[in-house]
Amino acid sequence: MNISDKIGWKTAAGLVVANMVGTGVFTSLGFQVMDNQNTWSIVLLWVIGGAMALIGAMVYAELGTHFKKSGGDYIFLSRTINPAVGYLYAWISLTLGFPAPVAIASMAMVQYWKPVIGETLSIVLGIVAVIMMSLFHSYSVQNSGRVQNVLTVIKLVFVFSLIGVGAYFASTLESSSFDYSSTWTIEIWEPGFAVSLIYVFYAYTGWNSAAYIVEEIEQPRKNLPKALIFATSLVMVLYIFLQLIFLKHASIEQLSGKVEVATLAFGNLFGSQGVFWVSLFIGIQLVATISGYTWVGPRITQAMAKEFRLWKPLSKTNQQGIPVRAIWFNSFISFLLMFTGSFEMVMLYVGFVLQMMGTLTIVSSLSLKKAEGFKSPFKPLLQLIYLLFSLWVMIFMLYDRPKESAIGIGIILIGYIIYLIDSKNKLEPQP
């Protein structure tokens, strides 16, 4: 790939922002307030999630600039721990990691657009959005970059507008939903707080996006860390402000257990017109999320397919080096997930599995004694902090949501069985 065919740090950062700011931030609060109703608890959830994402971003920048190959965790885990672990991550990316966020974004789009245009048309447009993004990303890196930049600008303008408008106007609630009492000191030790972090971690999913397309980034040693750290820091600030805006304009009772928290808040503020415009633009900005995951996910599938015979057909690229077959295969899996699971269940078991595999990638970075490229600061202290928090969350998830956890573990076991079969005919590793 020529240098002129690559993207700069701003486009890479835009990809990270687009992948992060999507379904989770506009849907998680309703599930969180079922167990955490103190405002400090809510803020702490998003601060912890942001800190974890920032640690992860620095670690992935180190791994990405060391290996200098697209494929993300598949490359990192295969080359540092064991090919079987890398294969499992690629399997999860193929079946859940990237198709699921696309499916969840489409499902959320239906939830937000349903009051505006009806359920049937919303479902149709959700499907069309996935198909259109698959088409746009099937041509060239430059085309993908242009599409992603436009969608990311729309997303950011919308999010900043929500924060600005929400902060400017006074709440219409009879009593405030803000609670700054000391009850947060009790809530944070309950299982519900740890489970709520799964939603938060899912909302932050995407901070590692640019690391999956290292070969498509100009001067990755300089631009990859800049893109990952800048985008993650920006998103953390936006997320905290958005939750405060939603709490300001909607009651805990209204939000509890609901997906469409943004329209509830702005519906209270502006009535049906508020619901219409917020629903419309949330659906539009979710297209950027679908676009980002459609661009990035197939690169992991392609990296695995180059080395394992079972998936070999998915490694084929067009003349511009785009893994077109992998793109459409991932989109097909997204459609299956859209019509076979509830929103909350899919989000939980996907979040659990991704957290588990992401934790293994953080562990893998500890084996790099002499990283060739960006070096994550305070190593290994930050990695150890990440690991402790992650293990704490997963243990509570297993305890509090055994069904969703079992589904996630079952998918991993299926992947391992397939690996044992596929590894017998393993192809030569790509240089």
Helix 272-305 × helix 23-32 angle, to 10°: 110
- The first and second tokens of residue 92, run together, are 């999860």
Q: Is the pLDDT of residue 290 over 50?
A: yes
* pLDDT tens for each residue of 196-216: 888 888 788 777 776 777 778
Q: Is the pLDDT of residue 429 over 60?
A: no
% of the chain at pLDDT higher than 90: 20
Bridge partners (DSSP) of residue 5 are: none
DSSP character for 214? G
* pLDDT tens for each residue of 378-419: 888 989 999 998 888 888 888 888 888 888 899 899 999 999
Q: Is the pLDDT of residue 120 over 50?
A: yes
Which position has the higher pLDDT, 371 or 284?
284
| Confidence label for 428 from pLDDT (cuts 50, 70 and 90) | low
pLDDT of 79 reads 87
Amino acid identity of 156?
A: L
Other Cβ atoms less than 10 A from the Cβ of 146: the count is 14
Q: Is the pLDDT of residue 343 over 70?
A: no
Average pLDDT estimate for 120-147: 88
DSSP character for 308? B
Average pLDDT estimate for 26-45: 91
| CA atoms of 250 and 318, how far apart (whole Å) | 49
- The answer to whether the beta carbons of residues 256 and 34 sit under 8 Å apart is yes
pLDDT of 167 reads 93
| CA atoms of 201 and 48, how far apart (whole Å) | 9
| CA atoms of 186 and 194, how far apart (whole Å) | 13
* 426 phi, psi to nearest 5 deg: -60, 135
Average pLDDT estimate for 62-79: 82
Transcribe 114-162 into DSSP letters. HHHH-HHHHHHHHHHHHHHHHHHTTS-HHHHHHHHHHHHHHHHHHHHHH
Which position has the higher pLDDT, 38 or 194?
38
pLDDT of 249 reads 92
- The answer to whether the beta carbons of residues 55 and 383 sit under 8 Å apart is yes
pLDDT of 163 reads 94
Q: Is the pLDDT of residue 19 over 80?
A: no
Average pLDDT estimate for 361-381: 84
Amino acid identity of 352?
A: F
Average pLDDT, the chain: 85
CA distances from 281 to 277, 320, 346, 388 (A): 6, 33, 24, 38
pLDDT of 248 reads 93
| CA atoms of 369 and 399, how far apart (whole Å) | 36
pLDDT of 1 reads 47
Q: Is the pLDDT of residue 337 over 80?
A: yes
Instruction: Tell me the CATH architecture of domain 3-425.
Output: Up-down Bundle (1.20)
DSSP character for 207? T
Q: Is the pLDDT of residue 277 over 80?
A: yes
Residues contacting residue 112 through CB under 8 Å, at least 6 positions apart: 26, 260, 262, 263, 278, 279, 282, 283, 286
Q: Is the pLDDT of residue 189 over 70?
A: yes
Q: Is the pLDDT of residue 2 over 60?
A: no
pLDDT of 430 reads 53
- The answer to whether the beta carbons of residues 43 and 244 sit under 8 Å apart is yes
Average pLDDT estimate for 215-236: 86
Q: Is the pLDDT of residue 425 over 70?
A: no
Q: Is 272 exposed, middle or buried, given 0-12, 13-18 or 19+ CB atoms closer than 10 A? A: exposed
| CA atoms of 213 and 53, how far apart (whole Å) | 18
The CA-to-CA distance between both ends of the chain, in Å, stands at 16
- The answer to whether the beta carbons of residues 209 and 23 sit under 8 Å apart is no
% of the chain at pLDDT higher than 70: 95
- The first and second tokens of residue 104, run together, are 């969840």
CA distances from 312 to 214, 226, 315, 316, 321 (A): 21, 34, 5, 8, 15
Other Cβ atoms less than 10 A from the Cβ of 316: the count is 13
Lowest mean pLDDT: which of 92-96, 177-181, 388-392?
Answer: 92-96
